[in-house]
Amino acid sequence: MGVIKVLAPEIAQKIAAGEVVERPVSVVKELVENSLDAAATEIKVELLDGGKKLIRVQDNGWGMSQEDAALCFRRYATSKISVEEDLEKIATLGFRGEALASISAVSRLVLKTFNGQEDRGYLVEREGDKLIRFVEISFPQGTMVEVYDLFFNLPARKKFLRSERSELSLVVNYLTQVALAYPEVKFTLSNNNREVINCPGVVSLKDRVYQLYGKKLLDNLMPIDYEEGAYRITGLCSRPFSGRIDRQRQLFFVNRRPVKDRILVAALTQAYLGLLERQKNPEGFFFLEIPYDQVDVNVHPAKAEVRFREPQQVYRLILKAVELGAQQESLIKPIIVEGSEKKEEAEVESGLIPIETQKEVSSKPLSLIEDQKKLELINFRNEEVKRVAEGYPQDRQPFQVLGQYLASYIVATSEEGLLIIDQHNAHERILFEKFEKMEQENSWKSRQMLFPTVLELSPGQRLNYEELKEELEKIGFVLEPMGGNSLALKEYPDFFKEKEASEILLSLLEDNNRDKFKDRRTKLLATMACKSAIKAGQALSLAEMEYLTVELFQTKNPGICPHGRPVIIKIERSRIERAIGRQPE
């Protein structure tokens, strides 16, 4: 006798229901999506016990006719698709036509609806698969669905529900995401009659982020908006030098639907290389608009994963959007002067400082530089700058070097305020971009060692050498095996001094994976820049400091070194004045 049995339809349906409905948040998701599809502008979600006892979703959308209210619980009953081609260009959130069927299969459910056109509204009550009541009622236009006792008839499933708190927090996360995607819709959420979310409809994403997260986050975000062909990305994401330690807040939406996808996360990480300090990750809200036939959202029953037809294009979109966004931002890390916070808040509230006042103040001579000695210093500086800066297109440098602090930092002033420049990181940034350019132009020259130096490599270094051999030769390091782990260095890039060369080479072969780099080549150049840059603790002449500063401001990204450390910090003039208690006149 065979052992295979065909399952009874009720059992089959319960199993299928479990695919769509896993826990309260999946019910909330399906119901809220239906409300959005019905063009609701207000969606109210109420829970008891984190949704385990009751989930109630009420909207002010289209509502349903008598016929629809009866049909909507049938499996594959949907108003959103009828022929197969529709699958390709569907714009609504749901179209599998199984949500209501699945939810009602595993709960006691009450639906009330009114479409504003028929005389009355309708109430449908179901328990599991059974219809209990179908009656006329009076009801405001829209739909309300109440789901009681989720999994009352599936004890095995019910056991897997987590604590009230944890089910609730899943719902909060989900609703936060939809609220971000639909700023124009009012969302409220309560649990056991306590309000958890209350977001009246607003006009922009920015307003919504403010409602949900507050001003502090908003201050750390920059807008992005980039379009390429039929693809577009908009949103808000970390300004250079902000970001957070974890990756918790990287929210992606494709055609307004929250999605999780590895490609998107990878693209974002790549996009922010060189914009954030190394322990930081970008955060932000990214909205991709992609033609419906270029993305498949139905690979997953709960529609949380997507498949892009052209992942490369999506990747590029993110890179480009962040790059362009960052170009509008200051690439210098601001630091906060203690004690200036309170006043600053007030300042922001009262609006910006009028430009007139700013000009007036800056045209006055600073008392700091009034004494004779300083003036001499400045004259000398100007001469030097002219000499050093010859060949640079700008006729006016945006800064003035004041001096060196702790033999490690260049102190300068600029329009933005007081600058403190790390001399090592600055030189590293300059060299790195120089190396990149030489590499692109293939202009590395090498020089013969007078006497080849024999290098004893560790097994690890030897292995790295085998891997990097070609790239090393391209930039001018030529070695010859001497047997065992010994190699003779015969040629070196003529950019370096002979006695530096072997030390730099050895550190290139050192394995360290702590830093994030685009690729191996970039890492190589960055390490080389780091090793050959001047060190902290080295006294510099004014001319050298001028030179470094001028060169630094010519680089693409003066604010951050290739290893992700800040190069410059600034104390904004307004902060200095506020901290000192001097009001801008």
Told to check if 143 binds ligand ADP by CB under 6 A, we report yes
- Max intra-chain CA distance, the chain: 109
Q: Beta 108-114 vs 121-127: how paired, if at all?
A: antiparallel
Distance CA 294, CA 309 (A): 5
Pick the binder of ligand ADP from 94, 274, 493, 559 (CB under 6 A): 94
Told to check if 34 binds Mg ion by CB under 5 A, we report yes
> Six-digit token pair at 560?
């951050």
Task: List the x/- string, 3-42, binding to ligand ADP by CB under 6 A.
Answer: ---------------------------x---xx--x----
Distance CA 72, CA 112 (A): 12
Told to check if 521 binds ligand ADP by CB under 6 A, we report no
Told to check if 95 binds ligand ADP by CB under 6 A, we report yes
Per partner kind, with CB cut-offs from 5 to 8 A, the member of ligand ADP, Mg ion, none near residue 80 is ligand ADP
Told to check if 189 binds ligand ADP by CB under 6 A, we report no
- Applying CB under 5 A, the span of 91-99, 136-144, 170-178, 289-297 interacting with Mg ion comes to 91-99
- Complex with Mg ion: residue 70 or 202, whichever CB lies closer: 70
Closest residue by Cα to residue 40 from 63, 66, 18, 68: 63
3-class secondary-structure state, position 292: helix
Closest residue by Cα to residue 545 from 372, 391, 407: 407
Placement of tokens 């409220």 in the chain: 188
> Six-digit token pair at 256?
């307004």
Pick the binder of Mg ion from 94, 235, 558, 566 (CB under 5 A): 94
Contacts of 560 (CB under 8 A, 6+ apart): 240, 241, 274, 275, 276, 277, 331, 333, 429, 566, 567
Pick the binder of ligand ADP from 18, 25, 52, 62 (CB under 6 A): 62
Told to check if 60 binds ligand ADP by CB under 6 A, we report no
Pick the binder of Mg ion from 25, 27, 72, 99 (CB under 5 A): 99
> Six-digit token pair at 473?
């030769």
Distance CA 25, CA 2 (A): 40
- Least CB distance to ligand ADP at residue 115 (A): 8
Per partner kind, with CB cut-offs from 5 to 8 A, the member of ligand ADP, Mg ion, none near residue 100 is ligand ADP
- Complex with ligand ADP: residue 97 or 334, whichever CB lies closer: 97
Q: Which amino acid is at 421?
A: I
Site for ligand ADP in 477-506 (CB under 6 A): none
Site for ligand ADP in 96-115 (CB under 6 A): 96-101
- Complex with ligand ADP: residue 153 or 298, whichever CB lies closer: 298
Per partner kind, with CB cut-offs from 5 to 8 A, the member of Mg ion, ligand ADP, none near residue 51 is none
Q: Where are the beta strands (DSSP E) in 186-331?
A: 186-191, 194-199, 221-228, 231-238, 250-254, 257-259, 284-289, 295-296, 307-308
List Cα–Cα distances, 156 to 37, 48, 150, 163, 216, in angstroms: 32, 21, 12, 16, 44
3-class secondary-structure state, position 89: helix
Q: For Mg ion, how many residues bind (rule: CB under 5 A)? A: 3
- Applying CB under 6 A, the span of 88-96, 299-307, 324-332, 472-480 interacting with ligand ADP comes to 88-96
Told to check if 59 binds ligand ADP by CB under 6 A, we report yes
- Least CB distance to ligand ADP at residue 39 (A): 9
Distance CA 235, CA 237 (A): 7
Told to check if 121 binds ligand ADP by CB under 6 A, we report no
- Complex with Mg ion: residue 99 or 144, whichever CB lies closer: 99
Q: Of all helices (H) and strands (E), which one includes residue 157?
A: helix 155-158
Per partner kind, with CB cut-offs from 5 to 8 A, the member of Mg ion, ligand ADP, none near residue 79 is ligand ADP
Contacts of 85 (CB under 8 A, 6+ apart): none
Q: How many CB atoms lie within 10 A of CB 21?
A: 29
- Least CB distance to ligand ADP at residue 153 (A): 19
Told to check if 178 binds ligand ADP by CB under 6 A, we report no
Per partner kind, with CB cut-offs from 5 to 8 A, the member of ligand ADP, Mg ion, none near residue 143 is ligand ADP
> Six-digit token pair at 96?
């599998």
Tell how far CA 241 is from the center of its chain.
12
Q: Which residues would be at the binding site for Mg ion (CB under 5 A)?
A: 34, 94, 99
Q: Which residues would be at the binding site for ligand ADP (CB under 6 A)?
A: 30, 34-35, 38, 59, 61-64, 68, 72, 77-80, 94-101, 143
